[in-house]
Structure 1
């Protein structure tokens, strides 16, 4: 199952005029062209801007509607982006500001494209090599970020939430994978080990997928850093592989165990964190659509399916 990583973007012309004027003030030139970028799930505006002086800039802007949480996500991204060292392959933040409930971020424009869907072998190889370089550059963490347990604590209890919902009758588990239903209590116990398993001193992006990568002529640029945290350096590889499989890539287990970032990772720790990640995808896919994000649940369901296949391989539970 493949699901596109696209949401409902706000066109640049629909951003309030005072915000667009503030963007031009920060950039020192008027905008003459704006091209909306459709990838990603944010309900805000995301556009490549061409300025009257010939410069190109990538702009993101979001207000308090329709999803009131997105503005804080943008603020978190600004804090991380501003602190990233120059040798990290990520677009440089030029400016950010808050105004009347709106948050805007202005980045250098990257002349790149998303990886092909389905994945091409050569492009996946480039991305996997880039993850090795990224893990090296981000250990120990060169920028302040929340610890893993703070960042993921509310998310990584999906199996336990499903156990509770089963007991209270809030969820009859209809449609849940048969293997997951049979092992639900054991999955909840395994998931509970993730906080210790994910311990580490690396800065972790936390949300690497094809739609958060840009391939240039000679680099792989990693964009969208609001979920960054400090933890195990192998998490980015683990977290990315279910989406790679979903989009036509190879089985996650063979990629993870053959990768320099993954081959030295403690197997029990990896399985516990994978259980928590899988539980997050599976449980979230059963929730109502969040405001302004009508395609997110289908994307989570697709990742949950491939992550569950991987988890079955690692646990070897029948």
Structure 2
């Protein structure tokens, strides 16, 4: 079973332009004395825990103007994280700023309290998987008022099965032949995914092992979520279902085995789960067949591996 791609190297604190470092320290109100880089994930920017002369630990993310998509993600996160209820299990957001390093070189910077936990181990341990599935449940327990966050139904990627059926992404025949044989039927199933994911729950939108921190506390293992640019309002099952392909790749159980051990909340529409999975499968398949995005060549392999998990899972749910 393939695993998630190796960690990427991000810029480190000393590599940031002096003007940006000075501006960050001014906002922190203290000098940065030590730093540790988090090289996981897929964005290009700085992601470091900074330890200051005031004895604080602050997690800072920063991206320069050459990384337009990463900057957009950071702006979205800053816009959405302030709408989260205070009781959401996530480190406290401190501030966001656009800082000029030089004319024409603006940096987007976000600062949070540094989480005290660590990413789940790979391969997944049963207790840590239970903690992160429980985290997804705690997130979805928060009811979100209409308009407070974007609707997951409106942000769900669409049209991927149509692209695959039209042959826009050569290479579909490198997947299980069942996919090409049923591409139009699967596209019709996925077409209703928008309605399938409607709901009033908080959705993280990208909950995986690299976006969670686990920690042993006095009452057992707990987990918190980080990275919220995709926060939305939707169905309570979205985060659990969405994370399971990556869990499988990282040495965890088969998705249906996870759901058997950690059932979705009572009343969950199982048909809606299958429809969402069909949409997710189309997204991973079509994305994996595109050219790699600049600076992130390994993401296509990760998407392909998740697509393969999704195909097998979808066949199982459809009884095929």
Give yes or no for TM over 0.5: yes
Stretches of structure 1 that go unaligned for 5 or more consecutive residues are none
Q: Which piece of structure 1 moves more, 79-88 or 55-64?
A: 79-88
SS in structure 2 opposite 1:264? Answer: coil
Q: CA deviation at 1:129?
A: 2.2
| Structure 2 Cα separation of the partners of residues 262 and 256 of structure 1 | 10
SS in structure 2 opposite 1:88? Answer: coil
Partner of 1:116: 121
| Structure 1 Cα separation of the partners of residues 247 and 6 of structure 2 | 12
Sort the Cα spacing of 1:180 and 1:257 in 2 relative to 1 into closer, same or farther, 3 A: same
Partner of 1:250: 253
Sort the Cα spacing of 1:139 and 1:302 in 2 relative to 1 into closer, same or farther, 3 A: same
SS in structure 2 opposite 1:217? Answer: strand
Sort the Cα spacing of 1:141 and 1:217 in 2 relative to 1 into closer, same or farther, 3 A: farther
Partner of 2:82: 82
Partner of 1:199: 198
Sort the Cα spacing of 1:163 and 1:234 in 2 relative to 1 into closer, same or farther, 3 A: same
Partner of 2:283: 280
| Structure 2 Cα separation of the partners of residues 145 and 261 of structure 1 | 23
Asked if the contact 2:59/2:113 (under 8 Å) is kept, the reply is: yes
What is the CA RMSD across the aligned residues, in angstroms? Answer: 1.8
SS in structure 1 opposite 2:172? Answer: coil
1:149-188 map, 5 Å = 149-152=153-156, 155-165=157-167, 171=170, 173-188=172-187
Tell me the number of residue pairs that the alignment of Structure 1 and Structure 2 aligns.
Answer: 310
Q: Which of the numbers 271, 280, 296 marks the counterpart of 1:293? A: 296
Partner of 1:259: 262
Deviation above 6 Å: which 4+ runs of structure 1?
A: none
SS in structure 2 opposite 1:99? Answer: strand
Task: Establish whether residue 127 from structure 1 lines up as the match of residue 132 from structure 2.
Answer: yes
Partner of 1:36: 37
Partner of 2:143: 139
Partner of 2:103: none
SS in structure 1 opposite 2:82? Answer: helix
SS in structure 2 opposite 1:69? Answer: helix
| Structure 2 Cα separation of the partners of residues 309 and 141 of structure 1 | 36
Partner of 2:189: 190
SS in structure 1 opposite 2:236? Answer: coil
